[in-house]
Amino acid sequence: MKGLFISGSGTNVGKTFIAQYLIRFLTNILKVSVRKPVESDCKNKNGKLIPKDALLLSKACNIIESIDKVCRYKFKACSSAQIASKAVGLKLTLDNLVDACVADEFVIVEGAGGLLSPIAIKTLNSNLIQSINVPVVLVIKDELGAVNQALLSINAAQRYKLNISMVVLNQIYPNLLDNKKAINQYTNVNIVVFNHNDLKSFERQIEKILLGSLIK
């Protein structure tokens, strides 16, 4: 299996937004499938659960697949996937999620929550990444406290012996904190900053990282 897993320091850090950007970037040179194996907080529309994040990912890629294939497990509850699945009587397992990630082409998989968020019975996002064996992109909201969040996430990934492709500091609001420089003092992991006002710099950095290690 060849691809990337998008995770982060938690919820609301911009995982889906960064995943969309990476998907669009890679579709210039590859056929790209997407998977959001499990999604909570789905809206009920005419009796069918709609996974908003999975839909956004699907629209960004260049392979047309059914939303049920992109996102196999959909839950209405706004909770961890583990709790949401239990609430409807489904015994969701790691094997179920691994199977839901399978794709014929290069695949970008987005997790639910952070690396240590529970997503199935005795299963964290980190366990899923280990099983599908693809590099991980860690998305961190670029704000005060980002250094701590980035280092915690990096340490967690390294504890599980995950291959970290890069850490993306998602600068939702411009700041002068220079968190990238601060984080670089404590790790050799690739750190890149996403800033709407300097997209060319971001693209140059991810091109060097992704094309240099993934698309050979």
Residues belonging to the active site:
36
Whole-number Å distance between alpha carbons of 74 and 48: 10
Cα 171 from Cα 192, distance rounded (Å): 10
Residues across the chain:
216
Question: d(Cα 18, Cα 33) in Å, to the nearest integer?
Answer: 16
Q: Which helix (H) or strand (E) holds 118?
A: strand 118-120
Supply angle C-alpha 112, 186, 175, rounded to 5. Answer: 70
Please give the structure tokens belonging to residue 14. 């911009």
* Of 149, 211, 146, 147, the residue nearest 185 (C-alpha): 147
